[in-house]
Amino acid sequence: MMSSSGKSLKTVVYIIYWLVPVISLIYMLGFSSGWSETLPKAVQVTIRSMIFILYFAKLLMAVIILIDDVRRVLFGALNMGVEDWNLSTERSKWMSYGALVLGALPILSLTYGMARNPYRYQLLKTRVPVKNLHPDLHGLKIIQISDIHSGSFLLKEPVERSIQMINAEKPDIVFFTGDLVNSLASEMEPFLEMFSKIESPLGVYSILGNHDYGDYHHWTNPADKVKNFEDLKGMHKRLGWDLLLNEHREVR
């Protein structure tokens, strides 16, 4: 017979297992109606990340369980063919434990990554050879930054360190290559001052990314989406960035 502690653990596991699809369904219904976007940003980011992590873990566990189920079906068929074999068709305890361990690995590692990696900025350097480059342009330093997704930031201090990293390189020119926000122009509001501190003598030039058009937000009317897009373009101007909209600039 199963001990009371074993029954309690099994009950907890079942509750957690079924909470995942229930919470996912509620969140998707809330997202489609726009209700979930009224939640605090930290709650939204955490829910979305945990849904992905838990489903990824369940997928890995399901692979092991499926292998065990195939074994049980095969052993059942063999038992019918040869009565003396009596091969066990019960679920393998060790494969169940293996599935739990395999599922726990991404939960632990990805949860750590979710908390640690968003602010783990790295500076990647490369030297670009240009044939017949004018001598005055030798050593020109360009910094490219991209995919800020300011709507995902929960902390300001690490982001400010990234601005310091950029300025410490003393770039001649800076390019920002899209996705200033997740969907809403207002997501950038708390970070305008710090990103406006990026310095380069030849200026900062920017373009839009797919998220900047507001296509991933539930809009109650088209006019709000148009206004958000205009506000987003205004954010680049407030940052002091030269936003390129299907155009080019000549830099001297």
Residue 130 lies in a domain: no
Q: What is the pLDDT of residue 154?
A: 79
Domain membership of residue 71 (yes or no) is yes
**CATH number (domain holding residue 226):** 3.60.21
Element (H, E) at 54: helix 41-81
How many percent of the chain have pLDDT more than 70? 90
Q: How many structural domains comprise the chain? A: 2
Average pLDDT over every residue of 99-106:
84
Kindly state whether residue 146 falls inside one of the protein's structural domains. Answer: yes
Does residue 110 carry a pLDDT above 90? no
75 and 181 share one domain: no
Average pLDDT score over residue span 47-61:
83
Last residue of a domain, one of 91, 119, 147: 119
Higher pLDDT, 234 or 112: 234
What range defines the domain where residue 102 resides?
4-119
Structure token digits, residue 118: 């968003």
Phi, psi (rounded to 5 degrees) for 121: -75, 145
Q: Are residues 104 and 14 in the same domain?
A: yes
112/188 same-domain check: no
Name residues whose C-beta falls within 8 Å of residue 142's C-beta, 6 or more positions apart in sequence: 171, 172, 173, 174, 175
Task: Specify the pairing of strand 204-207 against strand 242-243.
Answer: parallel
Whether the CB-CB separation of 192 and 238 falls below 8 Å is answered with yes
Task: Please name which of 174, 167, 231 lies closest in space to residue 206, comparing C-alpha atoms.
Answer: 174
Model pTM? 0.67
One-letter amino acid identity for 40?
A: P
Whether residue 106 is found in the same domain as residue 140: no
Considering the domain architecture, whether residues 80 and 146 belong to the same structural domain is answered as: no
**Cβ proximity of 193 and 163 under 8 Å:** no
**Domain ends where: 93, 119, 145?**
119
81 confidence band (pLDDT: 50, 70, 90):
low
Same domain, 154 and 235: yes
Q: What is the mean pLDDT of residues 27-38?
A: 72
**Does 142 lie in the same domain as 41?**
no
pLDDT confidence of 190, banded at 50, 70, 90? Answer: very high
Strand segments (E) across 67-181:
142-145, 173-177
Same domain, 62 and 146: no
Does 252 map to a domain? no
pLDDT band at 56 (very low <50, low <70, confident <90, very high): confident
Instruction: For residues 145-168, give the mean pLDDT.
Output: 90
In a domain, 187, yes or no: yes
**Is the pLDDT at 20 greater than 80, yes or no?**
no
Distances in Å between the Cα of 37 and the Cα atoms of 33, 93, 231 are 9, 43, 19
Q: Does residue 205 sit within a domain?
A: yes
Answer yes or no: do 142 and 83 share one domain: no
Is the pLDDT at 46 greater than 80, yes or no?
no
Residue 222 and residue 36 in contact, taking contact as beta carbons nearer than 8 Å: no
- For residues 109 and 12, state if they share a domain: yes
Is 41 contained in some domain?
A: yes
Tell me if 142 is assigned to some domain.
yes
Asked which of 60-69, 128-137, 209-218, 222-231 is least confident by mean pLDDT, the reply is 60-69
**Average pLDDT of the segment spanning 80-88:** 69
> Residue 116 above 80 pLDDT?
no
Same domain for 115 and 142, yes or no, is: no
> Does 7 or 202 have the greater pLDDT score?
202
Same domain, 79 and 114: yes
> Residue 195 corresponds to which tokens in the numbers above?
């990103």
